Amino acid sequence: MSQEKLFGANKAFVMFAALVVILAGVKMSSDIIVPMLLALFIAIICNPLINYLAKFKVPKSLAIVIVFILIILVGMSVAGLVGQSLNDFSESLPEYKLLLNEKFVWLVDIAAKYNILLDKEQILSFFDPSKVIDVAANTLSGLGSVMANLFLIVLTAIFMLFEAPVVSKKVHLALADPQMKMQHIDRFLDSVNSYLAIKTLVSLGTGVFAGIFLWVLNVDYFVLWGVLAFILNYIPNIGSMIAAIPAVLLALVLQGPAIAGIVAIGYMTINTLMGNVVEPKFMGKGLGLSTLVVFLSLIFWGWLLGTVGMLLSVPLTMIVKIALEASNEGRWLAVLLGNIEEGKTS
């Protein structure tokens, strides 16, 4: 092996080892990193609204205070409403699990009438349908534990917004090629602002429509399931499907298969309209990430940072992609992360 190839192999090995050490450090310190990431993205989302208030001659400090007072008031109102529903649901969860297992056994008996013989005990040992409903409770509990640091998150986001005007000057002083780097930073901020704004509106519409639909059908805890639909809609591809599971199962055990089927069809209709009609209309060509990369990023960031990592998987992957595009060595990997149309035109 030539000396040049040996040097390249050693360099790749060192980079891989460094990446493993960094990821291990991030996972171990996720309790600190997750609130900081939430604060960063809250600041990014709030910055356009603060700039809008500035057009009406509102001082920046006052605009920041107004925006965050509104966020805290709305957040506390929703948290109080959802918290009560979540407590009631948690108390009734053992009863719901028992009823769900009984329904599952009933389905096995129906299959037996059509000569589809299944062993109830063996199936329940491999697949306990009552555990599916835990996904909703675990998701909301995970977010609740993060939001326990609400004061730290809000305070950090406020300081970030105050610091935002001087970041550009600091970057120009710190980087060897500031103009190029600033172009990538501006592109990232524009992409994330656009994505989060559109996704928030679409998710809000999804949650409202789901909640109203469940209220009309008299499904218990419709507010809780509406909020869950809003939150999980941030998770690409599978979030909306996960949000439908607890509502469908609850309708099944309390109101029967007919209502459960209507709930499932309703969720499919809402998600199809919002995800395939409304969102693409405003999102345009999208974010330049392939569908496979979006799904894999969901798994990766969820493993690394938990529930919040799943919610922020697309913006975080965008950061990585834009950083790779700024480097000659990493540009090939950025092309692999992008869609085929982008790869041809870039």
Q: What are the sequence ranges of the domains in the chain?
A: 32-284
Token pair of 127 as six digits? 């697949």
Place of tokens 């190029």: 180
Contact criterion met (CB below 8 Å) for 223 and 211: yes
pTM summary value: 0.73
Q: How confident is the model at residue 342 (pLDDT cuts 50, 70, 90)?
A: very low
49/16 Cα distance (integer angstroms) = 41
Residue 339's pLDDT is: 66
Return the closest-CA partner of residue 263 out of 307, 305, 316, 210: 210
Distance (Å, rounded) from C-alpha 204 to C-alpha 198?
10
Using alpha carbons only, what angle is made at residue 114 by residues 110 and 118, rounded to the nearest 5 degrees? 65
Q: How far is CA 95 from CA 79, 108, 219, in A?
A: 25, 20, 16
Question: Using one digit for the tens of pLDDT, what is the confidence trace for 164-189?
Answer: 767 666 666 666 666 666 676 666 66
